[in-house]
Amino acid sequence: MNWQTIEGSVTAPQGFLAGGVFCDIKRLGTGKGSNKGVKRDLALLVSETPATVAGTFTTNQVCAAPVKVCLERVRRGLARAVVINSGNANACTGRQGLRDAQAMTGITAAALAGRHISAEDVLVASTGRIGVRLPMENVKKGILLAAGQIEATRQGARHAVEAIMTSDTRPKEIAVEFRIGGRTARLGGMCKGAGMIQPGMSASGKRPALHATMLCFLTTDAALDAATLRTALDAAVARSFNRITVDGDMSTNDTVLLLANGKAGNAPPRAGSRDLAVFQEALDHVTLELAKKIVLDGEGVSRFVTVRVRGAKTGGEAEAAARAVANSALVKTSWCGGDPNWGRILCALGYSTATIEESRIDVGYSAPGGRKVLFSLKGGRPTATPFRSLCAITTAAAFDLHINLNLGGGEALMYAADLTEAYVDFNKGDVNDPSTLGG
């Protein structure tokens, strides 16, 4: 372990400022999750100096206006600031939505006058209700207000993370410190999640083989060139955010952005170097911890389940098997009950696109990350493991489900959640109060 956890999040690295304000976007069009009129809804994140940038975005064909703007701009590999609003996704808003997203970057650049930032240096992200135009007057007021309040402090970062929350019940933050090129550097991050969570992001926005609104903003004062940063972020997202599912729905707005401003003064690490490995390790830790926080705080989630599939014919088949199990309504409701079920699991494996042989399948349970696995099924047959022993594991707040298909070397894992009455209640809304209806 070449990093250590420190206090704070996006302002922990040198040279980053953040802030968050309330400008009445939420009241104008968001759901049940918002504490109307009291929660912050616009955040600014600014680097004092030019930073290299990398991003990964939803591969949903319906992608929100801010994602379109970011996809274009991250190609340049440089950025100075990110403006983020909650309460309105600016998705399915047509050309006007695109103009509004672009205007947010222009307003931000202007509001940060004196910092020599152009609109093109500003990235943008939105989350909240789909299909409603942004209240641009409020957004503008919010950006101006936030620009006057950004700070390189813990409080600045805390205001920012509060402003990006929607149905999240708690802020999700982390920061680590590590040594790179003889210097001490830091990496911090904040994210939001809660529903519409099964990201399938790629750097290009092109469709990967797989499948939230989840937003994540990462900062580091380590120096890395844009291409290296992108490769590192892609790898980290593949092992973290792309491995989580709350409800199997992939959002129109998923965005992860990583800014590296080089204030630590290290020489940018080369491919294959130990320095880069250290950075990757820190980034992997930060993204995985943030991803897990999203599942744990998922809408109505009462249990966190890590689905570990091995022995599939290929990695792709292991992935398909893990996703089928992690997204099965019947499996997820059995988790809600704390049931160490294997019948529904076999059923989901059987309709997945993975090749299986019933008589070879092992299913077991352990404590999270635990080595001691109690098997309920071996070679397709129930074991003698007492039901109570299995329940002792599966009624805990978190457990690991181990599936071995015993057909090959393919492995995959998914961080998943149960399906509860609270999820349904939260998402069904009330047609007599349209503000409770989901985007």
Tell me the catalytic residues.
Answer: 213
One-letter-per-residue 3-state SS of the chain: CCEEECCCCCCCCCCEEEEEECCCCCCCCCCCCCCCCCCCCEEEEEEEEEEEEEEEECCCCCCCHHHHHHHHHHCCCEEEEEEEEEEECCCCCHHHHHHHHHHHHHHHHHHCCCCCCCHHHEEEEEEEECCCCCCHHHHHHHHHHHHCCCECCHHHHHHHHHHCCCCCCCCEEEEEEEEECCEEEEEEEEEECCCCCCCCCECCCCCCCCCCCCEEEEEECCCCCHHHHHHHHHHHHHCCHHHECCCCCCCCCCEEEEEECCCCCCCCCCCCCHHHHHHHHHHHHHHHHHHHHHHHCCCCCCCEEEEEEEEECCHHHHHHHHHHHHHCHHHHHHHHCCCCCCHHHHHHHHHCCCCCCHHHCEEEEECCCCCCCEEEEECCEECCCCHHHHHHHHCCCEEEEEEECCCCCEEEEEEEECCCHHHHHHHHCCCCCHHHCCC
Tokens of 173: 């933050």
- Near a second copy by CB under 8 A: residue from 7, 72, 137, 358: 358
Q: Kindly state whether residue 25 participates in binding a second copy, applying the rule CB under 8 A.
A: no
Per CB under 8 A, which of residues 286..315 are in contact with a second copy?
none
Q: Kindly state whether residue 68 participates in binding a second copy, applying the rule CB under 8 A.
A: no
Per CB under 8 A, which of residues 108..167 are in contact with a second copy?
129-131
- The piece of 12-20, 47-55, 156-164, 413-421 that touches a second copy (CB under 8 A) is 413-421
Kindly state the smallest distance separating residue 314's Cβ from a second copy, in Å.
16
Q: Kindly state whether residue 66 participates in binding a second copy, applying the rule CB under 8 A.
A: no
Kindly state the smallest distance separating residue 283's Cβ from a second copy, in Å.
26
Contact 287, 216 (CB under 8 A): yes
- Near a second copy by CB under 8 A: residue from 281, 284, 339, 411: 339
Kindly state the smallest distance separating residue 381's Cβ from a second copy, in Å.
6
Q: Which is nearer to a second copy, 55 or 199 (CB)?
A: 199
- Near a second copy by CB under 8 A: residue from 36, 62, 370, 386: 62
Q: Kindly state whether residue 389 participates in binding a second copy, applying the rule CB under 8 A.
A: no
Q: Kindly state whether residue 397 participates in binding a second copy, applying the rule CB under 8 A.
A: no
Q: Which is nearer to a second copy, 25 or 150 (CB)?
A: 25
**β-strand partners of 56:** 256
Tokens of 37: 């009129």
Q: Which is nearer to a second copy, 27 or 211 (CB)?
A: 211
Kindly state the smallest distance separating residue 318's Cβ from a second copy, in Å.
15
Site string for a second copy, 221-260 (x = CB under 8 A): --------------------------xxxxxx--------
Q: Kindly state whether residue 316 participates in binding a second copy, applying the rule CB under 8 A.
A: no
Q: Which is nearer to a second copy, 219 or 328 (CB)?
A: 328
Contact 239, 202 (CB under 8 A): no
Q: How many residues touch a second copy (CB under 8 A)?
A: 68
- Near a second copy by CB under 8 A: residue from 211, 263, 308, 323: 211
Q: Which is nearer to a second copy, 415 or 423 (CB)?
A: 423
- The piece of 39-47, 110-118, 259-267, 355-363 that touches a second copy (CB under 8 A) is 355-363
Strand 381-382 to 215-220 pairing: unpaired
- Near a second copy by CB under 8 A: residue from 338, 365, 375, 407: 338
Kindly state the smallest distance separating residue 188's Cβ from a second copy, in Å.
30
- Near a second copy by CB under 8 A: residue from 63, 117, 244, 326: 63
- Near a second copy by CB under 8 A: residue from 200, 205, 262, 269: 200
**β-strand partners of 88:** 127, 129
Tokens of 289: 């911890």
Letter for the amino acid at 219? T
Sheet holding 374-378, edge to edge: 381-382, 374-378, 362-366, 398-404, 304-312, 410-417
- Near a second copy by CB under 8 A: residue from 49, 153, 204, 355: 355
Q: Kindly state whether residue 386 participates in binding a second copy, applying the rule CB under 8 A.
A: no
Per CB under 8 A, which of residues 77..96 are in contact with a second copy?
89, 91-92, 94
Residues of this chain that bind a second copy (CB under 8 A): 59-63, 89, 91-92, 94, 129-131, 195-196, 200, 211, 247-252, 328-330, 333-334, 336-344, 346-351, 355-356, 358-359, 380-382, 387, 391, 394-395, 419-421, 423-425, 427-431, 434, 437-439
